[in-house]
Amino acid sequence: MHALNETHDPALTSWVDSANAAGTDFPIQNLPFAVFRRAGSDEPFRGGVAIGDRIVDLGAAASAGVFEGSAAHAAQAAAGDTLNALMALGPAAWSALRLALSRALRVGSGREAALGPLLVAQADAEYAVPARIGDYTDFYTSVHHATNIGRQFRPDNPLLPNYKWVPIGYHGRSSSIAVSGQRFPRPIGQTMLPGESAPALRPSRRLDYELELGIFVGTGNASGEPIAIEGAESHVFGVCLLNDWSARDIQAWEYQPLGPFLSKNFATTISPWIVTLEALAPYRVAFERPEGDPQPLPYLDSPANRAHGAIDLQLEVVLETERMRQSGAVGFSLARTSYRHAYWTIAQMVAHHTVNGCNLQPGDLFGSGTLSGPTLDQAGALIELTVGGKQPIALPDGETRTFVEDGDTVELRGWCEAPGAARIGFGACRGTVLPARG
């Protein structure tokens, strides 16, 4: 796991003034990666790093010879239209580039004249999915979410017996993953309503969001060679926000015996910025299990994972309805929670995914599963907040919601803050639901 180094110093400031503003997501201690170009242009997409309200154009920086040695090699790898080549280089290269950026962007660095002209305003940029995602696996790492959902169907026994022993996951669809700003039509599928004798094909009436993290794989592993938990995080490039949109009524009809299919594969929204695990080092906390729960099997356990495996990453879901936009009202905060409540860690997900010899590749994406806290106001999905639609949420303007309606925009937010550390954030992950086609 990453140790603290000079890039984490909370006293560092940047010659990019906006990076020093209180509450910014992108101070010099963060330096997350994305793929961007100027909005509306025919420029090629290329890698960039956020600093305040600007983007360091890594392609231009590489061409200008701003960096040296392994940092220059890493910047060149990030100059393409995906970050896969950078991800494949491994943690030493990622760290070298991040350190070089930190030093170049600091007040007094002497690199302002070289880098300043290579900055692009975030307000002028558009983003692409930051990697070519070969495979997408969605996990189920929140015991609170699993319990809340299970209680709706199995009140006396909400958790299935395997949950506390194995990180549950399923393989999802990578082709429908899109970056923040995604707009998609309400999904259509088979549903079976109460009292019906046969299903019908119709638009989903119980469309939901899921508050998740996305975990991007960096270096992969050879087929047949598991990744041990002790080195699992060296295979992870970084983390983004992820909304795994879910059609609960389609899901209820189709999920047995093989799990989600059309209820999940129509849209998944991710934030454009990937925050590296190195940047998250100051916010690591102990991984703990409730007293009486089984301890992880040896391949899912290590001293480092117990001491620092969890991350105190704050998460929030904000709903913006069409009426709110028309009236100029701000969005309504539906829930806040922390990733520290997850039952399984990033390292455990990697170790379990590969224990059977499965080979990961640079750019593969994991979803954490819905991240809910121990109380319902920390629930990461409407199906939990509304208890399956039985308890509608009252919004400030008089509207109510049991599930997501046409025109609604859901925004996920994430940030980390801790004593003795700078606050860093993830930017926004926004998605909007359009009416069903046809």
pLDDT of residue 144: 93
For the chain, the structural domain boundaries read 6-128, 136-434
pLDDT of residue 156: 85
CB count in 10 Å sphere of residue 4: 13
At the fourth CATH level, which superfamily is domain 6-128?
A: Fumarylacetoacetase, N-terminal domain (2.30.30.230)
Return d(Cα 284, Cα 277) in angstroms, integer. 10
Choose among 179, 87, 78, 80: nearest CA to 127.
179
Average pLDDT score over residue span 19-30: 98
| Residue 127 annotated as lining a ligand binding site | no
Q: What is the pTM of this model?
A: 0.96
pLDDT of residue 438: 77
List pLDDT tens digits, range 168-198.
Answer: 998 899 999 999 999 999 999 999 999 999 9
pLDDT of residue 257: 87
Return d(Cα 388, Cα 378) in angstroms, integer. 16
List pLDDT tens digits, range 84-105.
Answer: 999 999 999 999 999 999 999 9
Burial class (CB in 10 A: 0-12, 13-18, 19+), 237: buried
Tokens standing for residue 329: 């009202």
6-128 and 136-434 agree in CATH topology: no
Burial class (CB in 10 A: 0-12, 13-18, 19+), 363: buried
DSSP 17-29: GGGGSTT-S--TT
Contacts of 283 (CB under 8 A, 6+ apart): 311, 312, 313, 416, 417, 418, 421
Residue 153 binned pLDDT confidence (cut-offs 50, 70, 90)? confident
| Residue 370 annotated as lining a ligand binding site | yes
From 8, 144, 145, 341, the catalytic residue: 145
| Residue 251 annotated as lining a ligand binding site | yes
User: Residue 388 in contact with residue 376, Cβ under 8 Å?
Assistant: no
Choose among 438, 433, 416, 435: nearest CA to 27.
416
Which CATH topology does 136-434 take? Fumarylacetoacetate hydrolase; domain 2 (3.90.850)
Burial class (CB in 10 A: 0-12, 13-18, 19+), 250: buried
| Residue 255 annotated as lining a ligand binding site | yes
Average pLDDT score over residue span 309-338: 97
Average pLDDT score over residue span 120-148: 96
* 152 pLDDT higher than 90: no
List pLDDT tens digits, range 61-87.
Answer: 999 999 999 999 999 999 999 999 999
pLDDT of residue 427: 98
Average pLDDT score over residue span 104-116: 95
Task: Say whether 308 is catalytic.
Answer: no
pLDDT of residue 43: 96
| Residue 140 annotated as lining a ligand binding site | yes
Average pLDDT score over residue span 142-168: 90
Under DSSP, is residue 260 helix (H, G, I), strand (E, B) or coil?
coil
pLDDT of residue 82: 98
